A = this chain, B = another copy of it.
Amino acid sequence: MALIVQKYGGTSVADVDRIKIVANKVKNEIEKGNQVVVILSAMSGVTNSLVKFCNDITTFYDNREYDAVVATGEQVTIGLLAIALQNMGIKARSYAGWQVPIITDNAFGKARIKEIKPDNLLKSLENGEVPIIAGFQGIEIESGRVATLGRGGSDTSAVAVAAAINADCCDIFTDVEGVYTTDPRIVKVAKKLEKITFEEILEMASLGAKVLQTRSVELAMKYKVKLRVLSSFVDAPGTLICSEDEIVEKEVISGITYNKDEAKFTLVNIDDVPGVSANIFKVMSNAGINVDMIVQSVSSGTKTNMTFTVPDSEFEKAKKAIEANKDLLNYESFLFDRKVVKVSIVGIGMKSHSGVAETMFRALAEKNINIMAISTSEIKISVLIADEYTELALRVLHTAFGLDKEISEKE
């Protein structure tokens, strides 16, 4: 008998019919003799509508009230799944975040889970009930108010619950079959990965692949929760996310990701002295903006050019900060380019393989794709290129690193 945490995303509970399918999946596990705890998202689209209501009044809202509003979507689906399970003869009980309770800090709108009291859930399990928990939310004890965990927070709820009740595994059901070598909508020959390490999925998530909320992976890594991503639409094994030592045959590259939320600035003719790049970081960080890549051109005497990237969603704020700090940065002019994309290759095997960067750069060069900036970590290499090359770059890199799946005649 295993204790399984299952999390179902918005598309998996999009309507009453989908909720009945989820109930069937839960029932299957129960009939195998397992205990199940379910975490749910809101019906797909509902949270967006709730967010829009708030924004239609003002974008300067009190996050505590925003949380009160947007946390309601999950409270609908948990009740409905409980009804659907009971209707199949399975005992079930819904729990809003405050009923568990899932205790958060007071960073309303993007709160972090401080503690989950497992007693109510364990009592439910003892009574033979399936506890069904609203994802994405908790309670801030001092104020007694509902706090949400930020978009995608239900993944984090699921992992945190799995850790709190010491579950055997945490299955994240979604509308894709698992984690792919790259976006299968762009690269038809993208393969589903059987396994991937926590470190790799963290890099992929932060680089733009929308598989799991980053914090959920960090939590799973910290508490050694066995995490799987799989489809609620297709009966297939999905992708296991595990620690490095559980993967015997390591691929050099596990995945290729891209992120279009990038904007590039170039400060022209700034002083070529130590401390200029520090100034750029300072100006941006004062404006609450993270600088990602940064490149200094070869100097022409005492002046140089400095290129750096920020999230395109922060473009206007970044532009204002640059304009407001002309004296400090001491540039002659500045340029920007919002039609750029960051393409990254990620792989734990990179640590023990040389020549990975060379393979990447040569593959892009052969297609005349110009690299504007580069950044690297131990397990990834990112390049900034013109966004019109996104699809071409993904395909050529996918082939270059031997990731293409074999297409059988049937397909």
Which residues of A are in contact with B by a Cβ distance under 8 Å?
16, 19-20, 50, 53-54, 56-58, 60-62, 64-69, 71-73, 75-76, 78-80, 82-84, 86-87, 93-94, 96, 98-99, 144-146
Contact = CB atoms under 8 A, between A and B. Distances in A.
Contact of A61 (B16, B71, B83): B83
A50 B62 CA distance: 27
B98 A53 contact: no
B65 A86 contact: yes
A-B interface, 6 closest residue pairs, ranked by CB to CB distance from nearest: A69-B79, A68-B79, A72-B72, A65-B82, A58-B87, A16-B56
Contacts of A82: 62, 65, 68
Contact of A86 (B61, B67, B80): B61
Contact of A83 (B57, B98, B146): B57
B65 A75 contact: no
Nearest to A146: B96
B94 A65 contact: yes
A83 B58 contact: yes
A385 to B, nearest CB: 41
Given A57-B84, A65-B94, A69-B75, 15 more contacts: A16-B57, A20-B57, A54-B80, A57-B83, A62-B82, A62-B83, A65-B80, A65-B82, A67-B79, A68-B82, A69-B76, A69-B83, A72-B75, A72-B76, A75-B75
- Count of identical protomers in the assembly: 2
A380 B83 CA distance: 43
A60 B72 contact: no
A148 to B, nearest CB: 11
A237 to B, nearest CB: 29
A87 B58 CA distance: 7
Given A65-B82, A68-B79, A68-B82, A57 B96 contact: no
A76 B50 contact: yes
Contacts of A65: 79-80, 82-83, 86, 93-94
13 contacts: A16-B57, A50-B76, A53-B76, A54-B79, A58-B83, A58-B84, A58-B87, A62-B86, A65-B83, A65-B94, A69-B76, A98-B98, A99-B145
Contact of A68 (B73, B94, B145): B94
A71 to B, nearest CB: 8
Given A19-B57, A57-B87, A75 B80 contact: no
B16 A53 contact: yes
A84 B98 CA distance: 25
Nearest to A67: B79
A144 B101 CA distance: 11
Indicate the member of A50, A79, A94, A146 with the most B CB atoms within 10 Å: A79
A118 to B, nearest CB: 15
Contacts of A56: 16
Indicate the member of A54, A72, A145, A146 with the most B CB atoms within 10 Å: A72
Contacts of A75: 68-69, 71-72, 75
B68 A53 contact: no
Contacts of A144: 99
A21 to B, nearest CB: 12
A57 B18 CA distance: 11
A54 B83 contact: yes
A126 to B, nearest CB: 16
Contact of A80 (B53, B76, B94, B96): B53
Nearest to A52: B16
A3 to B, nearest CB: 23
Contacts of A83: 54, 57-58, 61-62, 65-66, 69
Contacts of A58: 83-84, 87
A73 B49 CA distance: 13
